[in-house]
Amino acid sequence: VGNGRDVDVVVVGGGIGGLANALALTRKGLRVRVLEQAHEFGEVGAGLQIAPNCTRILDRWGLLDEVTSLGVLPESIVMRDAIDGEVLTRLDLRDVERRYGFPYLVIHRSDLHGTLLRACRRAGVDLVNDVTVTGYEQAADGAVAVHAGGRERGAVVLAADGLRSVARRLLSDDEPVSSAYVAYRGAVPFEQVARLDVQPKDVVVHVGPRCHFVQYALRHGEMFNQVAVFESPKALAGEEDWGTPDELDAAFTATSEQVRAGLPLMWRDRWWRMFDRDPIDDWVRGRVALTGDAAHPPLQYLAQGAVMAIEDAWVLSEHVARLTGPAGGPTGGPTGGTTGVDWDGALAAYNAVRPLHCRRVLTTARAWGRLWHHDGERREWRNAVLRERDVHDYAYVDWLFGPTALTPGELPPMFPGYDGEPALA
Ligand code: FAD
């Protein structure tokens, strides 16, 4: 398929993670083919928050100006109680940019995906649609992705095939874990919210009992994005048909005027049931490696899913560059193949650091979700703790927003109290 030429790397899946890997490795001089099952490359959904640990990498790839021009640089992230509307705490994003050296931005998913796609095209990535990979095989000095129309061989096959990854079965028999929460999204022209009490310069997160509501402007403030998330009683009761619009309406009846005013603007014809997976600590089997949501699908509460996928790509490509010798030469060694990359070394270095970091993100995201959704006395305790937080205390985000670690030794310390399962909830 594709241009028919031999490639060094086959990437399965052309979402944000797959394209980021393809771009990062092409920038290191490798030939990459992306196999995407859909008829076209694209993204569904609305906004993405992109933290400084990701804008730092986009800058290294020369994409930060483009992404900034398409997105919005909000001034603050504000957390409010969803019932009484009280402001509980905030992150000053101008100060965040000063501290971490790179901005926190929000962008339409299709704009970030489109930026990566255009960069892949410019770099000469072989982008192939309508190919569904059904299996993987190891080969001498490489691996093979198998699909109905044939077999694609590379020195490495990277599986960026998302939450329901086929490749993950090589490493684990786990299944996606349902949180019983569901997300509704809605991105509308800003005029539709202009008369409402919205803060166009902030990302606002309203946290409430078993629900939360996120609001922020997109595309230079021309669009307004909202996400409504709630626990589905029907999911808890084991019913098949859960997360339906009647449940959306019921979940937010007790919330503040600001939240209820935004709800009629949600798309009601589709919704996203929220799944993650338990962390796994080994993402590499021979010359097949997992990346992005295939390796570490999170609950979205830390807004780090796409960010982690881009970090994966950067980390692997840096190790590849470090372990590339002359073709067939000493660094390439007997396993280096024609490109001279010590693939086993690069994959081992990747596998030593990324699962550790992503495990922390996955477990913290679950705990963060529990904290957001407290009711009763726990809600009051949470609000008291958040009210006390110094706006410029970064203990809870330093480990996320700082430079991405290339080795376990560079992993930043976690926030106080973390001992593998965060003590937040
Ligand atoms: P996917 O986007 O799932 O892409 C997988 C690709 O592989 C798809 O194109 C699919 O068609 C293709 N594919 C699958 N199987 C095959 C196959 N067998 N053969 C060929 N192709 C295949 N992240 C953030 O960083 N910030 C946020 O603010 C944020 N907000 C979120 C809000 C919500 C409501 C949700 C649900 C998620 C959010 N995320 C956020 C997470 C983020 O969207 C994902 O982590 C990210 O998009 C994962 O990218 P991926 O490329 O790994 O996987």
Residue 330 confidence class, pLDDT cut points 50, 70, 90? very low
- Looking at residue 328, what is its pLDDT? 52
Choose from 43-57, 63-77, 326-340 the range with maximum mean pLDDT: 63-77
Nearest CA to ligand 1 atom 45: 305
Q: Phi and psi of 97, rounded to 5°?
A: -65, -40
Looking at residues 34-51, what average pLDDT do you find? 93
- Looking at residue 394, what is its pLDDT? 95
- Looking at residue 44, what is its pLDDT? 80
- Does the Cβ of 37 fall within 6 Å of ligand 1? yes
Residue 420 confidence class, pLDDT cut points 50, 70, 90? low
Do residues 139 and 148 touch, judged by C-beta distance below 8 A? no
Hey, how many other C-beta atoms are within 10 angstroms of the C-beta on 386? 17
| Most informative mutation of 41, 48, 152, 181 for ligand 1 (most atoms within 8 A of CB) | 48
Q: How close is the Cα of 287 to the center of ligand 1, in Å?
A: 22
ipTM higher than 0.90? yes
Looking at residues 216-221, what average pLDDT do you find? 91
Nearest CA to ligand 1 atom 33: 300
DSSP-assigned letters across all residues of 323-355: TB-STTSTTTTTT-GGGTB-HHHHHHHHHHHHH
Residue 266, amino acid: M
Determine the Cα–Cα distance for residues 247 and 264; give it in Å rounded to an integer. Answer: 14
Pairing verdict, β 223-231 and 133-139: unpaired
Residue 332 confidence class, pLDDT cut points 50, 70, 90? very low
Do residues 202 and 237 touch, judged by C-beta distance below 8 A? no
pLDDT digits (tens, 9 = 90+) for 159-182: 999 999 999 999 999 999 999 999
- Does the Cβ of 12 fall within 6 Å of ligand 1? yes
In angstroms, what CA-CA distances link 36 with 160, 161, 291, 394? 10, 9, 15, 39
Confidence check: pLDDT of 397 > 80: yes
Nearest CA to ligand 1 atom 29: 303
Residue 316 confidence class, pLDDT cut points 50, 70, 90? very high
Confidence check: pLDDT of 139 > 50: yes
- Does the Cβ of 133 fall within 6 Å of ligand 1? yes
- Copy the structure tokens of residue 20: 């980021």
Nearest CA to ligand 1 atom 15: 161
Using the atom order of ligand 1, give the atom closest to the CA of residue 49: 28
- Looking at residue 34, what is its pLDDT? 98
Comparing 17-31, 273-287, 411-425, which segment has the lowest mean pLDDT? 411-425
Looking at residues 302-319, what average pLDDT do you find? 98
Do residues 49 and 59 touch, judged by C-beta distance below 8 A? no
Using the atom order of ligand 1, give the atom closest to the CA of residue 291: 52
Averaged confidence pLDDT in the chain: 94
Kindly give, in sequence order, each residue whose CB lies less than 8 Å from that of residue 182, ignoring residues fewer than 6 positions away.
229, 230, 232, 235, 242, 243, 247, 271, 272, 273, 274
- Does the Cβ of 300 fall within 6 Å of ligand 1? yes
Confidence check: pLDDT of 337 > 50: no
Nearest CA to ligand 1 atom 12: 13
- Does the Cβ of 166 fall within 6 Å of ligand 1? yes
Q: What percent of the chain has pLDDT over 70?
A: 95
Q: How close is the Cα of 162 to the center of ligand 1, in Å?
A: 5
Q: How close is the Cα of 306 to the center of ligand 1, in Å?
A: 7
Confidence check: pLDDT of 414 > 90: no
- Looking at residue 263, what is its pLDDT? 95
- Does the Cβ of 276 fall within 6 Å of ligand 1? no
Using the atom order of ligand 1, give the atom closest to the CA of residue 16: 51
- Looking at residue 339, what is its pLDDT? 66
Q: How close is the Cα of 160 to the center of ligand 1, in Å?
A: 9
Using the atom order of ligand 1, give the atom closest to the CA of residue 305: 45
Q: How close is the Cα of 17 to the center of ligand 1, in Å?
A: 7
Residue 186 confidence class, pLDDT cut points 50, 70, 90? very high
- Does the Cβ of 208 fall within 6 Å of ligand 1? no
- Looking at residue 43, what is its pLDDT? 85
- Does the Cβ of 355 fall within 6 Å of ligand 1? no
- Looking at residue 322, what is its pLDDT? 96
- Looking at residue 194, what is its pLDDT? 85
- Does the Cβ of 48 fall within 6 Å of ligand 1? yes
- Looking at residue 183, what is its pLDDT? 97
Confidence check: pLDDT of 419 > 70: no
Do residues 376 and 361 touch, judged by C-beta distance below 8 A? no
Looking at residues 388-403, what average pLDDT do you find? 94
Higher pLDDT, 273 or 424: 273
| Most informative mutation of 108, 293, 308 for ligand 1 (most atoms within 8 A of CB) | 293
- Does the Cβ of 103 fall within 6 Å of ligand 1? no
pLDDT digits (tens, 9 = 90+) for 243-270: 999 999 999 999 999 999 999 999 999 9
Residue 346, amino acid: A
Residue 421 confidence class, pLDDT cut points 50, 70, 90? low
- Looking at residue 327, what is its pLDDT? 64
Residue 338 confidence class, pLDDT cut points 50, 70, 90? low
- Looking at residue 199, what is its pLDDT? 85
- Does the Cβ of 309 fall within 6 Å of ligand 1? yes
Confidence check: pLDDT of 134 > 50: yes
The answer to whether the predicted template modeling score (pTM) of the entire model surpasses 0.90 is: yes
Looking at residues 143-155, what average pLDDT do you find? 97
- Does the Cβ of 157 fall within 6 Å of ligand 1? no
Q: Catalogue the active-site residues.
A: 216
Kindly give, in sequence order, each residue whose CB lies less than 8 Å from that of residue 207, ignoring residues fewer than 6 positions away.
79, 80, 81, 82, 88, 371, 372, 373, 382
Reduced to 3 states (helix: H, G, I; strand: E, B; else coil), residue 389 is coil
Looking at residues 344-362, what average pLDDT do you find? 97
